[in-house]
Structure 1
Amino acid sequence: FLDPVTGEIVGKREWGKISLHPEHLMSFLYKLHFTLHLPEWKGIDRWGIWLMGAAAMVWLFDTFIAMALTLPRKRRVQKPGGKSWMQRWKPAWMIRRGAGAYKLNFDLHRAVGLWVFGLLLMLAFTSFSLNLYREIFYPVMSMVSETTPGPFETRTPTALHDPVEPQVSWPELFAKARTEADNRGWEEPIGDTFYSDNFAVFGVRFYYPGEDHDSGGMKVKSLYYDGKSADLIGDEVPWEGTAADVFNQLQFPLHSGRIAGLPGRIIVSIMGIAVAMLSITGLVIWWKKRKARVASRKRKQEMALNSATYQ
């Protein structure tokens, strides 16, 4: 953190540092969320991202399977005056009272999962799309719909420990970006800049203070410059481009809930608790059924043994 007038260093942080200290706690949790802090191996530092992306794909398919398991079975013969298919599905959406601990656990797992099915599906899909964006999501999107590739989609990154040194000074970059933004009629100030040393790409983002966080990026305009020549090589304007471009832009705002502002972030926070509850209740159901299967198998083995002994 630098004083904007004197340039004096007034604070330091190591983003994502494995630490429970208040200074690093939030970035530690944030990085843990999508990488598990898995270390670099064989020159690749994306193992955790790929693992969590694969888990998100399993979660996505499991969400559909879980929905299917709540559906009532089809009856071969419909009894006269019997309940309709929707009437037989209705109990799955309800929580029984005073039915015992196990039934309460089962109802919480099934009913809550049904009520928040749409949000679960969105979180699972966006988890997959964000972690496996370059590997699967963007290539598939490009096959099924028209996309506008940017520098990060068209360039092949260098090896992890083979960065490209920039040949452009920051003052030169600021001047070029501000002039380009003015020519486009962008009134927003430069909010932040970055340099991706494995792609040799400078990014300059324009937004008013606070809009980068609150909107999840949907109020942030970006210009991209070549790290060696300073040539303009791409841009990104929220809500502009093809339908696929806008869909790509929406992945993080949807996943974080920021697309709906503070209410959206509150809903996604509650969903975090709901997912934890569904995981725990699901594990309890699996454990109970496993115990029942083991006990049933044991009884059958004892009956077979007793039968053999009697004969």
Structure 2
Amino acid sequence: MSQKKTALGRLIGTLHLWLGLASGLVIIVIGLTGAIYVFTDELKPLVYRDRFFVQPESTPKLPLSRLLALAQAAVGEKRPVTRVEISSRPDRTYIFRALKVDKEGFSHWDYYKYYMRAYVNPYNGKVVMLEDSRNEFFTVVLGLHMRMLFGEKIGHPLVSYSVLAFVMILIFGLVLWWPAKWKKGNIDKSFKIKWNAKFKRVNYDLHNVLGFYACVILFMCAVTGLVWAFEWFGKGVKTVADGGKPAEVPAVFSDTTQNKDAKAVDRVFAALQHDNPAAYGYLINFPAKGKLPLNTSTYLTATNRYDRIQGQYDQFTGGRLRSRSFGELTSGEQIYAMNFDLHVGAWAGLPSKILTFFAGLICASLPVTGVVIWWGRRKKGDKGGKGERGRKVRTADGYVPPRRAAPVMGSKSISTGA
């Protein structure tokens, strides 16, 4: 290998190492919480059966406007309900949410000024459960994943730049993993874990081999995370998808000359059900005030969120302003709509979720195995021994240790202790 390639390899190894050390703790948390959050939709109905399910009745469900009023009374008039999640299944509650955040807040609990969910029986209007969602398990998991339980000002950049570092770590790691020669011995070291070897070798293989197998999925999860993390990145993805020029989609607004009609939400919900009676579920976002429309999502399947119809309705009259299916969105909008499913592994249903779950666990393990590799090499260099790293060189001032090569996490030059 030429000196130029050796120098480049050492530089890549150094960057791989120090970016990993700098972001390792955050990456561990993101990996573990991401693995849990992959199955949130499946776990919640199992864990919270008492608030998700009701006994179906032969009588019709109450009008949405009536249920909204009951939910609003339960959470308090000073906490406006901002949205409702409606399942098409007859045995599910309607979930109303009241949410307000303070982006200046220091911690997770300061960030949410209030976050309430009211689970309402749609047949009789009874509030089955009033939940302070700030302390709910999956909300805390998401708060760890997105902000490390800090507020927006600290937690968002901390996680965002750690994810950006992780993307670079994955790229550098793949370069370090790549066998110098595709011979059987090198291929075995790159693709197989030698379980019967010493601890150092097994640990090295866990870092090197598992990191390779999870690399593609982790890269996809990290890049889709960057879409939300950095506004410039999200806009850039949309612009590229739209062919270099972001598509202009005109905004629509409610008619403020009309009087507020409490029954408007009933007309909106009736229109959603009429247009797609076999839909999996519906989401309606209520604007706080002004001329903004009611934003709706009609989810056509249970397996993903991008396959939905997005609508805007007049908040005063309930009249339809615009409705577009996934196929009618611009290319940039389609990419953005698919971002969540790509991020959580829902793009191919349950199989891709399982793969993403294990990739999240591997993600959390990589900083740990990487530190073990680095620490073992560091201790070996401190103690001295045979070879370049252990040899002492005599100078005019006495014996001094040679300059250490930067330890490389995932590099083939690391002693594996096989």
TM-score normalised by L of structure 2 = 0.54
Conserved in 1, the CA contact under 8 Å of 2:293 and 2:315? yes
2:228 to 121, 130, 135: 130
Q: Residue 334 of structure 2 aligns to which amino acid in structure 1?
A: V
Q: Structure 1 residue 281: deviation in Å?
A: 0.7
How many equivalent pairs are there? Answer: 266
String of CA shifts for 1:123-172, please: whole Å, max 9, x gaps.
2112222333xx12331024323155668xx79xxxxxxxxxxx855531
Q: Structure 1 residue 63: deviation in Å?
A: 0.6
Distance 1:89-1:251 versus aligned 2 partners, 3 A rule: farther
Structure of greater relative contact order (alpha carbons < 8 Å, 6+ residues apart): 2
Q: Counterpart of 1:21? A: none
Q: Counterpart of 1:34? A: 146
Conserved in 2, the CA contact under 8 Å of 1:201 and 1:225? yes
Q: Structure 1 residue 284: deviation in Å?
A: 0.9
Q: Counterpart of 1:163? A: none
Distance 2:226 2:289 in 1: 23
Q: Residue 267 of structure 2 aligns to which amino acid in structure 1?
A: A
Q: Counterpart of 1:59? A: 166
Q: Counterpart of 1:76? A: none
Q: Counterpart of 1:103? A: 201
Secondary structure in structure 2 of the residue aligned to 1:26: helix
Conserved in 2, the CA contact under 8 Å of 1:94 and 1:107? yes
Gaps of 5+ in 2: 1-118, 253-258, 401-418
Distance 2:307 2:205 in 1: 41
Which deviates more from structure 2 when the two are superposed, residues 98-107 or residues 3-12? Answer: 3-12
Distance 1:138 1:236 in 2: 21
Q: Structure 1 residue 274: deviation in Å?
A: 1.4
Q: Residue 205 of structure 1 aligns to which amino acid in structure 2?
A: S
Q: Counterpart of 1:2? A: 120
TM-score normalised by L of structure 1 = 0.70
Q: Which has the higher helix share?
A: 1
Q: Counterpart of 1:288? A: 376
Distance 2:293 2:149 in 1: 25
Distance 1:124-1:302 versus aligned 2 partners, 3 A rule: farther
Confirm whether residue 13 of structure 1 aligns to residue 13 of structure 2.
no
Confirm whether residue 205 of structure 1 aligns to residue 297 of structure 2.
yes
Q: Residue 203 of structure 1 aligns to which amino acid in structure 2?
A: N
2:236 to 119, 122, 140: 140
Q: Which has the higher strand share?
A: 2
Gaps of 5+ in 1: 18-23, 40-44, 74-83, 156-166
Distance 2:373 2:312 in 1: 51
Confirm whether residue 117 of structure 1 aligns to residue 220 of structure 2.
no
Secondary structure in structure 1 of the residue aligned to 2:355: helix
